[in-house]
Amino acid sequence: SRGAIGPPSEDLEEFLSATSTLADPFLRASASGMVAGWYFANNEPDEALPHAEQAMELATALGNPSLATMARFSLGGALMVRDPQRARQLLLESVELGRQVGNDFFVGMALGRIARIGADASDPVWARQFRDAIDTAVNHDDRRNAVVLLDVHLQALLTTGRDEPAALLFGYVQQHA
């Protein structure tokens, strides 16, 4: 089905095995963040957590702001159910770091995750930040990122029970994408 990632596979086990021996901490952190994202997408936050924590630990040790953006995004996602306040703080930090380094993708995606834990258009700070992320994608002629951000917003609207605005946005995106 569309958007389904599927259960763990031999490929994941092979990826975990191969990346666990990487000497480069940047690559290990990136790989850990990817695995955390995979588990998050499969709605397995407890499985994502150790990988997200490892990405965060490595990113902090390296002091790389791009990696820190991704690590906070990963750990924030893994903690959305278990500790929503900490998740929100990590995701806000991901937004700020992402803006500093021009990582528009993680800015928009982190804002989308924040929306799923309770922020929406009634939160003026969140709404402005999310609008800025969409505007940045549009101003850079990045239609793919703009459509992804709008899709994230659709999911956030549905998650927070705002079905009618989601349907209107869906219709608009389908007509203009």
Please enumerate, as own/partner, the contacts of 134-138 that have beta carbons within 8 Å and a separation of 24 or more.
134/108, 136/104, 136/107, 137/104, 137/108
In this predicted structure, what is the pLDDT of residue 118?
67
> Residue 6 — very low, low, confident or very high, per pLDDT cuts 50/70/90?
low
Task: Calculate mean pLDDT across residues 116-135.
Answer: 70
* 27, 79, 121, 148, 166 from 175: Cα distances, Å: 40, 35, 22, 15, 14
* 51, 60, 111, 117 from 67: Cα distances, Å: 14, 9, 17, 23
Whole-model pTM? 0.71
Higher pLDDT, 7 or 16: 16
In this predicted structure, what is the pLDDT of residue 11?
73
Instruction: Write down the mean pLDDT value for the chain.
Output: 83
In contact, 92 and 62? CB cutoff 8 Å: no
The percent of residues above 90 in pLDDT, for the chain, comes to 34
